[in-house]
Amino acid sequence: MSPYRTSRHNSGIIVPYERLPFTFAHYSVACERHPQRNEDSIIVEKRSGMAAVFDGVGGSAAGEIASQTAARATLLDWKRAFYQRHQGFKGRMFLEECSKVDLCELLPQILKEADELVRSEGAQRAGTDDLATTVALAAFCQTPETNGYKMVYAHVGDSRVYLLREQEPLKRLTTDDGLLGRLVENQMVNDEDARRIDQAMHADQLSDAEFSYFRLRGGITQALGGPVPPTIHIDQVSIFPGDRVLLCTDGIHDNLIEDEIEEILRKGPRTSVARLLVEHSILRSRQERYVTVRAKPDDMSAIVITCRF
């Protein structure tokens, strides 16, 4: 008899409880300037294969309320969608076959609902309509024909999704809704220059104009709960054993350059790599400006999803 406890869901596939296909590592800390108030929120749904990070913006506690409201709405809608498909299996949801669920349709619907709740419920709780939150969300389904998986990911704002494969460099899957993206869109800089500006460590690596772009790169052009309903970016990619996916707020990628993120993702143990990313980001945030222009105290959140062999 198998040493794993198992459960059978409606498709007839038996999935071991202790041998789920992904390992989820996650870590989140509040900014050292307001240690009692973390304006980031995270979701980790291991068995149903969904994770998300949210980075709230707004004065005082409004950012915290925005991210919490969006995270709660997203989680409830995600669970509701699966409970409807798997009645009688509450609390025992597993990855769907990709042919049985349209994640490209489901995820934008969920985030649109979260956007509306930030505008209504969140604004009422905060006592202001000056609140919003970014989001980066990933959901997984099975592709039996390839013996692998598909990840559908959605984002708004400047929280990011990265993919790392064993024999390939780190790939950023998302493009920030921010100043650098707008400059590329308006053909004021090209993609290569935008990436070089974004990855700068020292001011002398940039021209005066580029340094001003660097300093303003954190300004986002849209978010959940913002002045107008956002455009939700949605895409998908195949995932294979050994792949690692990172979801992170800008407290991580503003402090660390992508070469540093890649090194930590490659070498870090799968259960603690998210904590290592946060710890390295905290160390960078404490450095003096003459050491690096990247140092930025902030809330920091990372989720690292490793596809098992």
**What Cα–Cα distance (Å) separates residue 59 from each residue in 127, 159, 298?**
11, 19, 14
- Cβ within 8 Å of residue 149, ≥6 positions away: 21, 95, 140, 141, 142, 143, 238, 239, 240, 307
pLDDT value at 145 more than 70: yes
Q: pTM here?
A: 0.92
- Cβ within 8 Å of residue 195, ≥6 positions away: none
- Euclidean distance between CA atoms 295 and 273, whole angstroms: 21
Q: Please, what is the Cα angle at 55 between 71 and 242, to 5 degrees?
A: 80
pLDDT value at 17 more than 50: no
168-188 pLDDT tens trace: 999 999 999 999 999 999 999
63-120 pLDDT tens trace: 999 999 999 999 999 999 887 776 655 545 578 889 888 999 999 999 999 999 999 9
- Euclidean distance between CA atoms 177 and 192, whole angstroms: 17
